[in-house]
Chains A and B, each alone.
Chain A
Amino acid sequence: MLFEKYANKMMAVCIRYCKNQEDAKDLLQDGYYKVFTSIKSFKGNSKIDTWMTRIFINIALNKQRLGRNKYNHYEFDTNFEKAEMSEEVPNEEIDAKIVINALNELPDIYKVVLNLYAIDGLSHKDIAKQLGISEGSSKSRLSRGRSLLNAKLKRKK
């Protein structure tokens, strides 16, 4: 029931936090496993899908944290960062798939903050707490993430 009703919605969350479809599917399975094993802790204070989304986000962030520590030492694309970053923003009619692909191409540190702030609606305070960074870092990452995403979207357009 929970799977049939919310699987696609949760898959959307997973895709936003993962690099590719395979990782997203892994996250979906991990998330649902966690949901089913801890369903007793759901007290009904929020909507079930909101609670599930929080679980999926937590697992995604934990995975990223572990993955970064174990394997990935992110290499920043300095050329990309120096790319044109005008404030001219593409219109909202841009295809969703292109937006999500562009988001996924961003370095994790920006992608995660953009996801948490712009889509999942967390405050900078919550983001800072969740990621173990300062609020200032959260704000600067958001700002930079927006610029980078904007540049990518313009390039794709």
Chain B
Amino acid sequence: MDNLKQIDSILKKAAADVPANAMADASDWNAIEQRLKYRKNRIIGMWFFLALSIFTAVSYTITRQKDYSDTLQNSNSSQKVTSIHGNDPLKEQIETSEKLIDINREKENISTGKKDDVESKIETGKKINKKPEYKPVKLNILDDQKSTFTSLQRVKMCQLYAHKKIKIKPELIFYQNNLKVSKQTHSKNHKNWEYGIAFTPAITHKYLKENKALSGLINRNFKQFIESKEDAAYTTSLGLDLVYHFNSKLFFSSGVYSTQRSEQINYNYTITEFPIVTNGKITDYAPLNPLAYENITFTGSNLYHFIEIPLNIGYRQSISTNFEIRTQFGLSLMSLTKREGKKGNFLNLKLDDLTNLTFNNQNIATSIKTGLYYNKPRLVIGLEPNYAVNLNALNDKKTNAILSRPYSYGINIITNVKLNKK
């Protein structure tokens, strides 16, 4: 047994001598550099998406602030309203009541000689004893139209109520301010369009299947040298998103996208034999002369560019004021517009340029996605796991023994900016 322990020292010695027999070369470094570069690009992509999200959020905040300022401005300027706009009976009543309030205020100013400023009245401590000359107004406001008041609105309401002795319900004063919000609440329950920009980062891979008609032509080293060296890759989809809501639950979505499918390639093998084909089948392999050995080294991404037109049907379920769950599935027409890269041949293992291979230019894919949406009048942000797969093989059945169906998966973060809303 002790003798056998000498094996350890033999092993140690042998291990120390190995570098002379096996050397790393420049191709190894190139492959590592390529992968590090890819990682860097991926990080850049993530930063780009983060920047896009921040930009969208900031744009949304600015837009919202502008809307809020406009609302306040409308509230202040309502004192100067002299004409009645629109045909909304509730709005007309509100404006009539505001006119009455204005008249009272003008009368008070004349009698007291003070500025029409609530704060200045508080400072001077003067009380307004004059009885307001107005007719009480009755308005019929539905409960769901009484949108939540902001704190600032409440303060204004209290000031008016306290100093002007307005005897109408506070809700009435602010009804006009909230007309917009009420309308939006109602519009959720009606048919409307959404359109905007959608950006979808994803991981893509592919299903491989032997083509039974040509399976006899697959090289015995194909799996080891080629198939196992092709991996998933990071891709993106960018396009115009179009959604039509039939009602508060069902919607239809479509659009036009520029979509990528990709595969990470890391070939590194030596062709030492060639297949002998008889009657459409490989019957034997003949060794190559060592001088004719072919070293295949290729690292990079194969890219397939598509124009995608999805036709999805979806269902949405509100879970709170701003959040909803949307689920959609459907089919996409994917038109292959461009392909870049190289691929190992299934028969002789040599590299073929993708542009020389035959692919189906028109493809059909199916997708399913469900996720959480943050839904605001001008913005929809969705976080949803997405799965999409080609229904047909991307490469041509007549000439390929290995059929490939790309798919994409992952948790997609979707940012739709609504450009318009009715």
A contact set with B: CB distance below 8 Å: 3, 7-12, 15-16, 21-22, 24-26, 28-29, 32-33, 36-37, 87-90, 92, 94, 96-97, 99-100, 103, 114, 117-119, 143, 146-147, 149-150, 153
- A94 near B10 with CB under 8 A, answer yes
Q: A100 with B7: in contact, given A28-B24, A33-B36 (CB under 8 Å)? A: no
Q: Can you list 12 A-B contacts with CB-CB less than 8 angstroms, sorted by A residue number?
A: A8-B24, A11-B22, A89-B3, A89-B4, A90-B10, A96-B18, A96-B21, A99-B14, A100-B21, A103-B11, A146-B7, A153-B10
Bound: A149/B7 CA distance, A: 8
- B24 near A99 with CB under 8 A, answer no
Q: A92 with B22: in contact, given A16-B15, A33-B32, A33-B35 (CB under 8 Å)? A: no
- A97 near B21 with CB under 8 A, answer yes
- B6 near A25 with CB under 8 A, answer no
Give the A-B pair count, Cβ closer than 8 A: 112
Q: Which residues of A contact B4 (CB under 8 A)?
A: 87, 89, 143, 146-147, 150
Q: Which residues of B contact A15 (CB under 8 A)?
A: 18, 22
Bound: A8/B32 CA distance, A: 15
B interface residues, how many (CB within 8 angstroms): 33
Majority-rule SS of B interface residues: helix
Taken residue by residue from 9 to 49, chain B's Cβ proximity to chain A (1 for < 8 Å, 0 otherwise) reads as 11111111111111110001101100110010000000000
- B18 near A3 with CB under 8 A, answer no
**The one of A29, A118, A149 that contacts B32, using a Cβ cutoff of 8 Å:** A29
Bound: A53/B39 CA distance, A: 23
- A119 near B15 with CB under 8 A, answer yes
B48 vs chain A, min Cβ distance (A): 20
- A92 near B32 with CB under 8 A, answer no
Bound: A117/B5 CA distance, A: 11
| Chain B residue with the shortest CB-CB distance to A6 | B24
Supplied contacts A11-B22, A22-B269, 14 more A-B pairs, CB within 8 Å = A3-B29, A7-B23, A8-B23, A12-B16, A16-B18, A29-B28, A32-B28, A89-B4, A92-B6, A99-B13, A103-B11, A114-B11, A147-B4, A153-B10
